Amino acid sequence: MLKHCMLKNRMLKHIVTILALIILISSAAGASTGNPIEKGNFFNEDSGSAFSKIYIDGFGVNSNGFKLILRTYERHAETSFKPFLADIEYILMVQEQVVYSKRVEQIPLSIGNEGNIILDHQGNVALDEGKNYTGIANVYLYRDGNPEYYLTTSSNFTARNDAEITEVYGDGIGASATIKSVSMVPLDAKIIFTLKQDGRVMETREIAAPSIMSNDKEKTENILWTDNLDEGTYIVSVLLNGKNLAVNYDKIFTVDRRASAKTAEPANQSGNPGDSLSTPGFTLIIPVLAIFALVLIYKRRAK
């Protein structure tokens, strides 16, 4: 009886050991074949191998707007995700107060250019120079035809004046500069025109720059030189100068003989000072005499 019990205990120990080994082997196999992607990190719409997933590779916001870079593929696994739709909600905040909000709906996200999608957005709201803002982008992915929240990214910036000079023109009478704002801060600056010849500053003129923002069309401002320029080659140097803003644009131009001769006295085309046909008074008398002759002829015929 004692031997029978001992035999029974040994068999139970062997069975427990075998069961423990089976459990360990099953756990190891499950760990080696498990999906490394967390369940909540993608939308598995068809229970297959294809699923919708995006990464944010870059996000920036400044006085000109938002820039968002999305990636629709897995770098390490070299797996591209299937095309899908997304909503992007852009928000600007100042001290936890929303000053701008815009949701762009149904943006198609596909493999495209190696799976990278670059989205730009400009908030049409005037910003205050030197004020700190927070830009936020909320991403929503579509599942079963409905957008669902996916993730959020944010960035801080300080609003700044920013503009560029797109064109400068100069001639013997004056000069002009075309200004384009690249900031949602209303432009507060001045335009300084400097006329140079052979390294010498001949004249400097200063005017206010147009108060424009990046959602406005570019504007052209003109000035006149104090005196008409003589024949020669000149440089007009334009400086757009404001707080934290200094943009230069130089342009060379030539005043030729014809342009400088416009203000000269009319020349005698025949070269003879005594030639009465070249004088303005005589040219007016000829039509008067012709009319008078026609009147006399008409009267004679009437008699």
* Lowest model confidence (mean pLDDT) among 38-42, 64-68, 90-94, 185-189: 38-42
Tens digits of per-residue pLDDT, 210-245?
Answer: 999 999 999 999 999 999 999 999 999 999 999 899
Q: Which residues contact 257 (CB under 8 A, 6 or more apart)?
A: 231
Query: What is the mean predicted confidence (pLDDT) over 109-115?
Result: 63
Choose the most confident range, by mean pLDDT, from 10-19, 116-125, 280-289, 293-302. 116-125
Do 162 and 188 contact (CB within 8 A), yes or no? no
Q: What does the pLDDT read at residue 108?
A: 86
> Could you tell me the pTM of the whole model?
0.64
Q: How far is CA 82 from CA 44, 48, 58, 295, in A?
A: 10, 11, 21, 95
Q: What does the pLDDT read at residue 68?
A: 95
Tens digits of per-residue pLDDT, 239-274?
Answer: 999 989 999 999 999 999 765 555 444 444 444 444
Long-range contacts of 54-60 (CB under 8 A, 24+ apart): 54/81, 54/86, 54/109, 54/139, 54/141, 54/150, 56/139, 56/151, 56/153, 57/116, 59/137, 59/153, 59/154, 59/155, 60/155
The closest of 103, 67, 105 to 86, measured between CA atoms, is: 105
Q: What does the pLDDT read at residue 257?
A: 74
Query: What is the mean predicted confidence (pLDDT) over 128-153?
Result: 92
List the alpha helices (DSSP H) in the chain: 2-33, 257-260, 280-302
Q: Provide the CA 147 distance to its chain's centre, in angstroms.
A: 29
Q: What does the pLDDT read at residue 112?
A: 53
Tens digits of per-residue pLDDT, 166-180?
Answer: 999 999 999 999 999
- How much of the chain, in percent, has pLDDT values that exceed 70? 63
In this prediction, residue 289 has a pLDDT band, given cuts at 50, 70 and 90, of low
Q: What does the pLDDT read at residue 77?
A: 62
In the structure encoding, which two tokens stand for residue 270, read together? 């025949």
| Structural domains of the chain, with CATH | 40-158 (2.60.40.10), 163-262 (2.60.40.10)
